[in-house]
Amino acid sequence: MYFITKYVEQILDSYLNFTVMFDTIPIGFVGSPGEKPAPAKSHVISQDALYFAPQVDFQNPKVRVRIQSISPQYNWMANNDPVPVDTPISCVAGFYNQVMPYIPLISPFFVKRQGQFTMQFTNDITAPVVGGEITWALLRLTNPINGGWDYEIGFNQGLAQQSQIPVSGQQMQYTKNNG
């Protein structure tokens, strides 16, 4: 079900161990058509984590969502039109009663310890959902080696080894950040 890319392998190699975890976050719909409740936030975890796939406990694909990580700030949703279009939840999360109740991310998302991401939901207009929960399947990464993985590994590596910019057909080899 889950596909471990080389990128994820390199992150996992930065830790001696990991723990499977499920993070359930209430959305807080009161059932009003088109409502935008306060953004749901992933729970703060004291270890680094890899988020693999979400699931919602309702079955309405017309609920919309916009996701953004807080630290560091990256927008997942790329529509930057004058009137931004949020993403139907069916494109991101599995429904609880589907054959496959999780939709894995193409590339699992790495969150540093104490990091968070927010999910701004918008309720359906015609058949609004009441309540609602989203659950993320993730790995909590424990016992980091040399500080574990960091977003800035590429940046720091680049400062030190600018001569190693990949050339034709050559893939970048990640090295550990000892800082």
Interface ranges with other proteins (CB under 8 A): 1-3, 5-7, 59-62, 67, 69, 74, 76-81, 85-88, 90-92, 94-95, 97-100, 103-107, 109, 151-155, 157-159, 162, 165-166, 168-172, 174
- Cβ closest to other proteins, residue 12 vs residue 77: 77
- Cβ closest to other proteins, residue 20 vs residue 106: 106
- Cβ closest to other proteins, residue 27 vs residue 56: 56
* Non-local CB neighbours of 176 within 8 Å, separated by 6+ positions: 14, 145, 146, 153
Minimum distance of other proteins from residue 47's CB (angstroms): 19
Q: Report the C-alpha gap between 17 and 150 in whole angstroms.
A: 16
- Measured in residues, the chain has a length of 179
Tokens of 49: 């984590």
- Cβ closest to other proteins, residue 47 vs residue 69: 69
Minimum distance of other proteins from residue 77's CB (angstroms): 5
Minimum distance of other proteins from residue 81's CB (angstroms): 7
Q: Report the C-alpha gap between 123 and 64 in whole angstroms.
A: 7
- Cβ closest to other proteins, residue 37 vs residue 174: 174
Q: Report the C-alpha gap between 160 and 167 in whole angstroms.
A: 17
Minimum distance of other proteins from residue 166's CB (angstroms): 5
Structural element, H or E, at residue 157: helix 153-160
Minimum distance of other proteins from residue 37's CB (angstroms): 20
Q: Report the C-alpha gap between 176 and 156 in whole angstroms.
A: 10
Question: Does residue 82 contact residue 38 with C-beta atoms inside 8 Å?
Answer: no
